[in-house]
Amino acid sequence: MGNGIIFGNRIFDIVLLVLIIAQALKVIIGLFTEKKINFRRFLDTGNMPSSHTASVVSLATAVGMETGMQSPLFAVSVVFAVVVMYDATGVRRAAGKQAALLNKIVDNIKRKEGQALLEENLKELLGHTPMEVFWGALLGFFVTLILY
């Protein structure tokens, strides 16, 4: 391993760069969809592409290239990637939908009774659609192939 420019670890550097690219793409895509630049998207979860997915696919790809597809480390990184992608489209997405519903309920109570139950709304964009995960996976795979 080695030859890393930032942290001295090539795999870590590539994964970090993929994460930054994915988050920057969220800002750029938001510029086109919202017609305004929103730098908060750089730190937000959710939206296109899935930076979690891009990162773990990048990690699995780089580990496979470094250690070979038969190595136990590659197997661990692939299983880790699958769990993260499943979680992004499953549990985290469901939690985001529940947060949206709870925010509506709290808003209705606030309108009826005039009192706020929460200081701020729950975060709704937690997970990803399958398409956001798909594009995150492609981004992580191909950027890693190019940089490795």
Mean per-residue pLDDT over the chain, rounded: 82
Indicate the burial class of 134 (C-beta count within 10 angstroms; 0-12, 13-18, 19 or more): middle
Whole-number Å distance between alpha carbons of 57 and 53: 6
pLDDT above 60 for 126: no
pLDDT tens across 48-76, in order?
A: 799 999 999 999 999 999 999 999 999 99
pLDDT, position 27:
87
Q: Which helix (H) or strand (E) holds 29?
A: helix 10-34
Q: What tokens appear for 76 in the block?
A: 């661990």
Residue 62 CB neighbours (<10 A)? 25
pLDDT tens across 12-40, in order?
A: 999 999 999 999 998 888 878 777 787 67
- Every domain of the chain and the residues it spans: 10-90+127-147
pTM of the model: 0.73
Q: What tokens appear for 14 in the block?
A: 């590539």
DSSP 36-94: S--GGGGT-SSSSS-HHHHHHHHHHHHHHHHH-TTSHHHHHHHHHHHHHHHHHHTHHHH
The residues, ordered by sequence, that sit 6+ positions from 65 with a Cβ below 8 Å of its Cβ are 144, 148
